[in-house]
Amino acid sequence: MTVNADPQKERAWGPLLVAWLIALSSTLSALFIGEIMGQAPCVLCWFQRAFMFPLAIILAVACFVSDSTIWRYALPLAVIGWLIALYHSLLYGGIIPESIEPCSAGPSCSGSNMDIFGWVPLPVLSLAAFTAITILLVIVRRRSIA
Protein backbone atom coordinates (compact mmCIF):
# COMPACT_ATOMS: atom_id res chain seq x y z
CA MET A 1 0.00 0.00 0.00
CA THR A 2 1.51 3.30 -1.03
CA VAL A 3 0.76 6.65 0.49
CA ASN A 4 0.47 9.52 -1.95
CA ALA A 5 2.20 12.58 -0.59
CA ASP A 6 0.46 15.90 -1.02
CA PRO A 7 2.57 17.89 -3.53
CA GLN A 8 1.50 21.20 -1.97
CA LYS A 9 2.82 20.12 1.42
CA GLU A 10 6.07 18.95 -0.17
CA ARG A 11 6.59 22.34 -1.84
CA ALA A 12 5.95 24.18 1.44
CA TRP A 13 8.16 21.96 3.59
CA GLY A 14 11.53 23.44 2.51
CA PRO A 15 10.75 27.06 3.40
CA LEU A 16 9.07 25.86 6.59
CA LEU A 17 12.23 24.00 7.60
CA VAL A 18 14.41 27.05 6.91
CA ALA A 19 12.04 29.28 8.93
CA TRP A 20 12.29 26.85 11.84
CA LEU A 21 16.09 26.74 11.61
CA ILE A 22 16.23 30.55 11.74
CA ALA A 23 13.86 30.65 14.73
CA LEU A 24 15.83 27.91 16.48
CA SER A 25 19.20 29.57 15.90
CA SER A 26 17.79 32.93 17.03
CA THR A 27 16.39 31.36 20.19
CA LEU A 28 19.60 29.50 20.99
CA SER A 29 21.65 32.64 20.28
CA ALA A 30 19.49 34.76 22.59
CA LEU A 31 19.85 32.15 25.32
CA PHE A 32 23.62 31.97 24.77
CA ILE A 33 24.03 35.75 24.93
CA GLY A 34 21.90 35.99 28.05
CA GLU A 35 22.86 32.90 29.98
CA ILE A 36 26.44 32.12 28.91
CA MET A 37 27.78 35.59 28.07
CA GLY A 38 25.83 37.12 30.95
CA GLN A 39 24.41 40.02 28.94
CA ALA A 40 21.06 40.98 30.42
CA PRO A 41 18.40 41.69 27.78
CA CYS A 42 16.72 45.08 27.61
CA VAL A 43 12.96 45.53 27.68
CA LEU A 44 12.59 45.42 23.90
CA CYS A 45 14.77 42.31 23.70
CA TRP A 46 12.42 40.60 26.16
CA PHE A 47 9.44 41.45 23.97
CA GLN A 48 11.23 40.11 20.89
CA ARG A 49 12.07 36.92 22.76
CA ALA A 50 8.40 36.55 23.67
CA PHE A 51 7.61 36.29 19.95
CA MET A 52 10.69 34.36 18.75
CA PHE A 53 10.78 31.57 21.33
CA PRO A 54 7.26 30.26 20.55
CA LEU A 55 8.11 30.33 16.84
CA ALA A 56 10.95 27.89 17.45
CA ILE A 57 8.52 25.47 19.07
CA ILE A 58 5.49 25.73 16.79
CA LEU A 59 7.57 25.69 13.61
CA ALA A 60 9.36 22.56 14.84
CA VAL A 61 6.03 20.83 15.39
CA ALA A 62 4.82 22.01 11.98
CA CYS A 63 7.95 20.58 10.32
CA PHE A 64 7.54 17.29 12.14
CA VAL A 65 3.93 16.82 11.03
CA SER A 66 4.32 18.65 7.68
CA ASP A 67 1.65 21.19 8.58
CA SER A 68 1.74 23.80 5.86
CA THR A 69 -1.17 25.67 7.45
CA ILE A 70 1.05 26.78 10.33
CA TRP A 71 1.47 30.16 8.62
CA ARG A 72 -1.94 31.10 10.06
CA TYR A 73 -0.55 30.93 13.58
CA ALA A 74 3.13 31.69 13.05
CA LEU A 75 2.83 34.66 10.70
CA PRO A 76 1.14 36.95 13.28
CA LEU A 77 3.89 36.12 15.80
CA ALA A 78 6.59 36.86 13.22
CA VAL A 79 5.00 40.14 12.09
CA ILE A 80 4.51 41.45 15.64
CA GLY A 81 8.08 40.45 16.51
CA TRP A 82 9.24 42.20 13.33
CA LEU A 83 7.47 45.41 14.33
CA ILE A 84 9.13 45.36 17.76
CA ALA A 85 12.52 44.61 16.18
CA LEU A 86 12.02 47.45 13.68
CA TYR A 87 11.22 49.89 16.49
CA HIS A 88 14.24 48.65 18.43
CA SER A 89 16.52 49.00 15.39
CA LEU A 90 15.28 52.54 14.72
CA LEU A 91 15.83 53.39 18.37
CA TYR A 92 19.31 51.86 18.28
CA GLY A 93 20.15 53.73 15.08
CA GLY A 94 19.14 57.06 16.62
CA ILE A 95 16.22 57.61 14.25
CA ILE A 96 13.76 57.45 17.15
CA PRO A 97 14.77 59.81 19.97
CA GLU A 98 15.90 58.26 23.23
CA SER A 99 13.32 60.33 25.10
CA ILE A 100 10.68 57.75 24.10
CA GLU A 101 12.91 54.79 24.93
CA PRO A 102 10.92 52.22 26.95
CA CYS A 103 13.91 51.25 29.09
CA SER A 104 13.62 53.10 32.36
CA ALA A 105 15.37 50.45 34.43
CA GLY A 106 17.85 47.77 33.47
CA PRO A 107 20.01 47.62 30.35
CA SER A 108 19.65 50.37 27.76
CA CYS A 109 17.80 49.53 24.55
CA SER A 110 20.25 51.58 22.52
CA GLY A 111 23.51 51.23 24.45
CA SER A 112 26.84 49.96 23.19
CA ASN A 113 26.26 46.63 24.93
CA MET A 114 23.70 45.88 22.21
CA ASP A 115 26.53 44.82 19.84
CA ILE A 116 27.76 41.29 19.41
CA PHE A 117 31.39 40.74 18.36
CA GLY A 118 31.83 44.49 18.84
CA TRP A 119 30.13 45.58 15.63
CA VAL A 120 26.94 43.59 14.88
CA PRO A 121 23.88 45.27 16.45
CA LEU A 122 21.57 42.74 18.11
CA PRO A 123 18.40 44.67 17.18
CA VAL A 124 19.36 44.50 13.50
CA LEU A 125 20.04 40.75 13.76
CA SER A 126 16.62 40.27 15.32
CA LEU A 127 15.02 42.36 12.58
CA ALA A 128 16.78 40.26 9.92
CA ALA A 129 15.62 37.01 11.55
CA PHE A 130 11.99 38.15 11.83
CA THR A 131 12.13 39.45 8.24
CA ALA A 132 13.41 36.14 6.91
CA ILE A 133 10.86 34.13 8.90
CA THR A 134 8.03 36.38 7.71
CA ILE A 135 9.08 36.04 4.07
CA LEU A 136 9.44 32.28 4.39
CA LEU A 137 6.01 31.95 6.00
CA VAL A 138 4.47 33.96 3.15
CA ILE A 139 6.15 31.53 0.74
CA VAL A 140 4.75 28.61 2.76
CA ARG A 141 1.29 30.19 2.53
CA ARG A 142 1.54 30.66 -1.23
CA ARG A 143 2.80 27.14 -1.83
CA SER A 144 0.22 25.54 0.44
CA ILE A 145 -2.79 27.19 -1.20
CA ALA A 146 -1.54 27.26 -4.79
Question: Tens digits of per-residue pLDDT, 15-46?
Answer: 999 999 999 999 999 999 888 888 888 888 89
Amino acid 76: pLDDT: 97
Amino acid 145: pLDDT: 82
For residue 89, what are the contacts with CB-CB under 8 A and spacing of at least 6?
Answer: 121, 123, 124, 126, 127
Average pLDDT, the chain: 85
Domains of the chain: 8-98+106-145 (1.20.1550)
- Mean pLDDT computed over 103-130: 74
Burial of residue 4 (number of CB atoms within 10 Å: 0-12, 13-18, 19+):
exposed
* 1 confidence band (pLDDT: 50, 70, 90): very low
Amino acid 95: pLDDT: 86
> What does pTM read for this prediction?
0.86
pLDDT higher than threshold 50 for residue 2: no
Burial of residue 119 (number of CB atoms within 10 Å: 0-12, 13-18, 19+):
exposed
Amino acid 34: pLDDT: 83
pLDDT higher than threshold 60 for residue 84: yes
